[in-house]
Amino acid sequence: MNPLISIDYEAIFRHAPLGMCVSRHRVIETCNDAMAEMFHYAAADLIGQSFAILYPSQAEFDRLGARITPIMNATGRYADERIMKRADNELFWCHVSGRLLTAADSHGGGIWIFEDLSEKRTVTAKLTPREREVAAFLVKGKTSKVIAREMGLSPRTVEMHRAKLMRKFGAATSSDLVNRLLGTRH
């Protein structure tokens, strides 16, 4: 690297085109403008807040935290697509990926990137928290058996939620449901 060239990492973080934040113990320590805009907050209003305010419910925040902890501790990384909540309570699909800043402490410190998927995929049906979680696994291509194991439910319960999703989205088959969840078929 040329010693005469100075890189302003703060400016890069602030002006990145995707939402970014640094967290510690699931509390936002700092975030960029893109993240604040995505969630319809002022950046200053997010700093010091728990990530819980970005989730449709406290239960979803708690369950996801419990589910990602062993993955983050084992790999240092996590990514998924999930339904998140803006300040005005609008729900939207979001791709979230993160990396630990503190090894082997999944909530000690992390950097997170958020990508708003609402232009590609809209939340069109009123879903329960469990249905949102099942939907997030379905778009990842997970089977009912795998979803049940990861959510700590019985496969029968997952099938019940899948059936409710199919009715709500007017889907005739499981693949049709996934296409509708992904926004590739209306």
In the chain, where are the structural domains located? 9-116, 129-182
pTM value?
0.76
What class has domain 9-116? Answer: alpha beta
186 residues of the chain, pLDDT tens digit each: 566 678 899 999 999 999 999 999 999 999 999 999 999 999 999 999 999 999 999 999 998 988 888 888 889 999 999 999 999 999 999 999 999 987 767 677 899 999 999 888 777 778 888 888 898 888 888 898 988 988 888 989 999 999 999 888 888 888 888 888 877 654
Q: In what order do the strands lie in the sheet with 91-100?
A: 27-31, 19-24, 110-116, 91-100, 77-85
- Give SS3 for 159: helix
139, 182 in Cβ contact below 8 A?
yes
**Residue 186 has what pLDDT?**
47
- Which CATH number is associated with domain 129-182? 1.10.10.10
CA distance 145 to 108: 32
CA distance 26 to 16: 21
CA distance 30 to 27: 9
**Residue 184 has what pLDDT?**
63
**Residue 1 has what pLDDT?**
56
